[in-house]
Structure 1
Amino acid sequence: MEQSQSPEEYARDVPADVRARVMPAVLDELARWGVERFSIEALAERHRLDPALIYRYWGDRQRLIVDAALADIEEVALATNTGSLRGDLTALARIVTERINSEVGRTFLRALVMDRRGRHDEDTRMMFWRARFSVVRAVIDRARERGELRDGVNTMAAVQIVMAPLNIRALYSDTLVGDDYCAAIVDLAWHAIARR
């Protein structure tokens, strides 16, 4: 596999049975230790996996972590293409809410939060957020192409209007994000960026 491949391309050829054994172990390790203390060797020992197998398919811990984080990226891309800005924002908010309302999703989000002591993992986090942003920004790009956005909308800010409040709720509370809150965020975002 070539060095220039992205993490999702690099791990695309992983057999389903290997992925089914490794991914739950990755999520468990991230929940226990976070990104900074994540170790393939510790993962392999604790979950009775062959570290050589993991290195063969993922190459390094960074690619393994990012692959786990991006497991649903194609599903997100398809679900957020509804044909309208409001529909896309609603689909995006529901996907984010569904993820952060799950124990695994909330744990993973918390594991990715920046820790000043873990500067060496800033690249891992940036790989994840860049890949995630490239899918989410398509919501804004499509709306712009359809003429649904007001002039001067900043793509990053538009995406953050939806994602930030939902993620902040998950980071600071164990309470599930309700449908009403999710709908309110979508409404605020739509009113902030839609052309009228």
Structure 2
Amino acid sequence: MAIKEGLRPGGRSARVQESIHSAVRALLQEQERSTVTVPQIAARAGVTPSTIYRRWGDLTALLADVALARMRPDSEPADTGSLRGDIRAWAEQYLDEMSSEPGRNMMRDVQASATPGYCVAIVGAQLQTIVDRYPDETAPSVDRLINLVVAPVVYRLLFSAAALEMDELHRLIDIALQQG
């Protein structure tokens, strides 16, 4: 499993994990991802390769774990004062971040791992935060937002050379916000 939920926070385990994650991020900035190896990561992190294999199983799971850690938001979604504005601001930022080369690589790493539901949970929590801000407005479900806004973004980024155009993203948001 890529993410070790339930491990106690802090302590040696957290320090080792952060050291390994830092080594992965540094190596990915220095060289092509196809040339990064577990022994390189271990040497950079100051651990043995067996530590990495024991915790993550293989390089794909480790790369996915690092990607998932980067996907966790640093802050709450922007509060623009309106449901439409918040969803647009969030979706524009999501499209911008995920359409970058690091974003596309992050999505590929997560896609290759066995933790796809985790991404939906992260995105869903962000969208739920936005929806919950406006209890007096008729808001779409988080599933509707994922299906009509997030899914087309992800599909285009993973399977097309071109990202979704911003105008099309705005049209999809308008469709998602329509009731009926």
Q: Into which bin does the TM-score normalised by the smaller protein fall?
A: 0.5 to 0.7
Moved more, 16-25 or 96-105: 16-25
Tell me, yes or no, if structure 1 residue 52 matches structure 2 residue 47. Answer: yes
Letter in 2 for 1:60: W
Higher relative contact order (CA 8 A, sep 6+): 1
Deviation at 1:156, TM superposition (A): 1.8
1:26–1:65 contact (8 Å) kept in structure 2? no
Identity of aligned residues (%): 19
Deviation at 1:102, TM superposition (A): 0.5
Matched with 2:89 is 91
2:83–2:130 contact (8 Å) kept in structure 1? yes
1:44–1:50 contact (8 Å) kept in structure 2? no
Counterpart selection for 1:141 from 132, 141, 158: 132
3-state SS, counterpart of residue 76 of structure 2: helix
| Partner deviation per Cα, 1:119-161 (whole Å, 9 max, x = no partner) | xx43x33334323432332222333x2x2125xx433223332
Matched with 1:4 is 6
Deviation at 1:170, TM superposition (A): 1.1
Deviation at 1:86, TM superposition (A): 0.6
Structure 2 CA distance for aligned equivalents of residues 50 and 110 of structure 1: 24
Q: Aligned pair in 2 of structure 1 residues 20, 85: CA closer, same or farther (>3 Å)? A: same
Give matches, 1:120-159, under 5 Å. Answer: 121-122=113-114, 124-143=115-134, 145=135, 147-149=136-138, 153-159=140-146
Unaligned runs of 5+ residues in structure 2 are none
Q: Which runs of 4+ in 1 moved over 4 A?
A: 10-20, 26-31, 53-56, 61-64
Q: Aligned pair in 2 of structure 1 residues 19, 104: CA closer, same or farther (>3 Å)? A: same
TM-score (norm 2): 0.66
1:101–1:176 contact (8 Å) kept in structure 2? yes
How many residue pairs match? The answer is 170
1:89–1:162 contact (8 Å) kept in structure 2? no
1:110–1:171 contact (8 Å) kept in structure 2? yes
3-state SS, counterpart of residue 111 of structure 2: coil
Give matches, 1:38-77, under 5 Å. Answer: 42-45=37-40, 48-50=43-45, 52=47, 55=51, 59-60=55-56, 62=61, 65-75=64-74, 77=75
TM-score (norm 1): 0.62
| Partner deviation per Cα, 1:67-96 (whole Å, 9 max, x = no partner) | 432325334x42343332111110121122
Unaligned runs of 5+ residues in structure 1 are 34-39, 115-120
